């Protein structure tokens, strides 16, 4: 899971937007906020169900319950802008996924009509 782990620079940006790890009531937690964020990012990337979360992240119930608590408290809403890449100078667009509208491809006889219109003007 090293490949999916947050780098220290990334974690420092995110950590300040998260609630404190130590709960005021109940028994102490053994799952850190960092593990929760990494688990949620891994789940979002892979698309697997919560129950298929690898044990390296901890109990899936713990991760889910904290994810839900944070969702209701608006933590993810505050966290997502911190994840955004501030570099908006350039974007990479893969043209293999870009589809042209059906009318933009020339259509049936589209080029022929234009060519005959050009001849009429001359």
Q: Where are the domains of the chain?
A: 2-83
* C-alpha to C-alpha distance for 37 and 106, rounded to whole angstroms: 48
Mean pLDDT over each residue of the chain, to the nearest integer = 78
pLDDT in tens, 77-115: 888 777 665 555 666 666 666 677 766 666 566 555 555
Decide which of 51 and 112 is more confident: 51
Decide which of 86 and 10 is more confident: 10
pLDDT confidence band for 1 (50 / 70 / 90)? low
Longest dimension (CA), the chain: 87
Nearest to 84 by CA among 7, 5, 10: 10
pLDDT in tens, 25-40: 777 777 899 999 999 9
Task: Select, from the ranges 2-6, 12-16, 106-110, the one with the highest average predicted confidence (pLDDT).
Answer: 12-16
């Amino acid at each position: 899971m090293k490949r999916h782990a947050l780098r220290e620079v990334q974690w420092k940006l995110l950590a300040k937007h998260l609630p404190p790890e130590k709960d005021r009531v109940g028994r102490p937690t053994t799952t850190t906020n960092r593990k929760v964020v990494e688990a949620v990012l891994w789940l979002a990337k892979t698309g697997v169900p919560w129950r298929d979360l690898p044990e390296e992240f901890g109990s899936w119930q713990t991760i889910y319950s904290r994810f839900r608590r944070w969702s209701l408290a608006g933590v993810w809403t505050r966290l997502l802008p911190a994840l955004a890449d501030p570099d908006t100078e350039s974007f990479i667009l893969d043209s293999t996924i870009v589809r042209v509208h059906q009318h933009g491809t020339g259509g049936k006889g589209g080029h022929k009509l234009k060519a005959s219109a050009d001849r009429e003007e001359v």
